[in-house]
Amino acid sequence: MDQQKIDIKNIPVHVEVHKPAGQGAQYNPRDRIYVRAVKGLHQAIRRYMGFVFMGLFMLLPWLRYDGHQAILLDITEQKFNIFSLTLWPQDFTILAWIFIIAAYALFFITAFYGRVWCGYLCPQSVWTFIFIWFEEKIQGTRNQRMKLDADPWSATKFVKKAATHFCWLAFSLLTSLIFVGYFTPVGPLFIEFFTLQAGFWALVSVLFFTLCTYGNAGWMREIMCTHICPYARFQSAMFDKDTFTVTYDETRGENRGPRSRKDKDYQEKGLGDCIDCNLCVQVCPTGIDIRNGLQYECINCGACIDACDDTMTKMGYPTGLISYTTEHSLNGKPTKVLRSKLLGYLFVLIAVCGAFAWTLYSRVPFEMNIIRDRGAMYRETNEGWVENTYTISISNKSQQAVMFNLSVDGGESLSWIGPQQVNLNGGETLNVPVSLALDPDITESRSLDIRFTVRQAENPDVKLEQSTTFFVGR
């Protein structure tokens, strides 16, 4: 057999690493972003929504309900009190439904209006804007903050920086105390923390979340959104050409260029409506240029929209150069709001909300478990009757004391030995020992199928049943 040789040629490979132009050895992969303050409709909405939900976050732990903290997620006692509802580890499905509802609500909103959760309600964004507000009040405007950082250290600079970080830490500590107050009684927590009497885990938790808040909102900021948060990475999978996102109208805005307000012939010079003022970049909390197109870093906060609309108004141009719009709308095509993807998310969201509501409605506020005597299957009494011993374990999952009635149904003449009515306080578990006796002469079976029933005395329709076996023996 003839063998053919394949010529092998060595191809030199040269890999060249390109660095950002003009940076050289001083290139910093993360330059600080100085966010410019902006006013407008979208920022007013964001602030008002932030005030409402921040107020709820701060006030909810202090609410009282029926003599106890209204919302207390007590991990040590393994129970979550939410007003009149108490959830136990056995109620994990309810918590699972809550997380599923939150996920599909986020998917639905994202498919409809983009990443607005990140821009308006995400705690990372809300706390970051609060920290930026402290910077503005203490260090001044964007240009003043940039000049302050560029100036050499002085007494004035030290005081402003120290005051800023003190306010950051103080607000972080307040945030941490409130957050930990959801998991331990909030009133005693504040008193014990400031009197240095807090327990080890409470102290560690407060300090840990204080440092996390201070680091995330004070230092990391947009890094959390662009590099750490997974939502930024998979959000594009929920976008389509009918999703409303913050978008720059390139057809109207290009070519960019400065001009005076009196220049009415700018279009004849080949210029678009964008005057290249860069305000849309200066107000962006993640430091992107929205004119470069849709980017995963954009959190849809609408700051660039308000800044651009303000500029367009001053120039006498129509607003909306940057706006919440769809790709189809920009291309002159109609936007389909009711589309299959959005309706699919909505259908699943309604379905899981219905399942959650049914789970709550059908939830029985107590549990029972029948445990047979492990020492003997049965025993004979002095009267010749057969006796089986059981333990009925009852857990009251409500917050109020409840009276329970106990009964058994076996289709035969069973004699009950033990209490048939017990009272349990809220959250209490009680093991009730009972015995059942039967005259063996009235049946020929070696065993009987019986069913224990535990029902609320005040509401007999609320009941639980569990089957077991009564051994007769021969």
Asked if 93 and 352 touch (Cβ cutoff 8 Å), the reply is no
What's the pLDDT tens digit per position in 133-166? 999 999 999 999 999 999 999 999 999 999 999 9
Residue 174 and residue 261 in one domain? no
pLDDT reported for residue 4: 58
Range of weakest confidence among 28-32, 49-53, 315-319:
28-32
Last residue of some domain: 279, 305, 330? Answer: 330
Last residue of some domain: 206, 236, 266? Answer: 236
Q: Answer yes or no: is pLDDT of 458 > 50.
A: yes
Asked if 284 and 304 touch (Cβ cutoff 8 Å), the reply is yes
Q: Is residue 2 part of a domain?
A: no
Say which DSSP state 226 is in: I
pLDDT reported for residue 5: 56
pLDDT reported for residue 282: 95
**Among residues of the chain, what percentage have pLDDT more than 90?**
70
Two tokens, residue 93: 């499905």
The residue behind tokens 């203490």 is 138
Q: Answer yes or no: is pLDDT of 421 > 60.
A: yes
pLDDT reported for residue 474: 65
Q: Is residue 355 part of a domain?
A: no
> What is the pLDDT of the chain when averaged over all its residues?
89
Two tokens, residue 232: 């930024």
pLDDT reported for residue 61: 96
Residue 46 and residue 163 in one domain? yes
Residue 205 and residue 307 in one domain? no
pLDDT reported for residue 451: 94
pLDDT reported for residue 103: 93
What's the pLDDT tens digit per position in 73-128? 998 888 899 998 888 888 888 989 999 999 999 999 999 999 899 999 999 999 99
CA 128 to chain CA centroid, Å, is 17
Q: Answer yes or no: is pLDDT of 30 > 70.
A: no
**pLDDT tier for residue 21 given thresholds of 50, 70 and 90:** very low
Asked if 168 and 129 touch (Cβ cutoff 8 Å), the reply is no
pLDDT reported for residue 19: 42
Task: Give the residue-averaged pLDDT of 225-234.
Answer: 84
pLDDT reported for residue 411: 65
Residue 300 and residue 413 in one domain? no
pLDDT reported for residue 157: 96
**pLDDT tier for residue 392 given thresholds of 50, 70 and 90:** very high
pLDDT reported for residue 413: 82
Q: Is residue 11 part of a domain?
A: no
Task: Give the residue-averaged pLDDT of 305-313.
Answer: 96
Cis link prior to 382 (omega < 30° from 0)? no
Residue 281 and residue 298 in one domain? yes
Query: Residue 284 belongs to what domain range?
Result: 241-330
Q: Is residue 13 part of a domain?
A: no
The residue behind tokens 């014990």 is 192
Residue 48 and residue 84 in one domain? yes
Q: What is the CATH number of the domain that holds 401?
A: 2.60.40.10
**pLDDT tier for residue 59 given thresholds of 50, 70 and 90:** very high
How many CB atoms are located within 10 Å of the residue 332 CB?
Answer: 7
Q: Is residue 342 part of a domain?
A: no
Say which DSSP state 317 is in: P
Last residue of some domain: 202, 236, 270? Answer: 236
Short-list 249, 245, 355, 361, CA closest to 300: 245
Q: Answer yes or no: is pLDDT of 377 > 50.
A: yes
426 vs 137: which has the higher pLDDT: 137
Asked if 388 and 435 touch (Cβ cutoff 8 Å), the reply is yes
State the total domains in the chain. 3
Task: Give the residue-averaged pLDDT of 26-30.
Answer: 45
Short-list 254, 269, 253, 263, CA closest to 308: 253
Residue 309 and residue 397 in one domain? no
Q: Is residue 3 part of a domain?
A: no
Bridge partners (DSSP) listed for residue 356:
none
| Enclosing H/E stretch for 422 | strand 421-424
Contacts of 276 (CB under 8 A, 6+ apart): 256, 257, 258
Q: Answer yes or no: is pLDDT of 199 > 50.
A: yes
Short-list 444, 308, 382, 355, CA closest to 100: 355
pLDDT reported for residue 342: 93
Short-list 283, 231, 288, 369, CA closest to 31: 288
Q: Answer yes or no: is pLDDT of 11 > 60.
A: no
pLDDT reported for residue 23: 39
Q: Answer yes or no: is pLDDT of 16 > 60.
A: no
**Among residues of the chain, what percentage have pLDDT more than 70?**
93
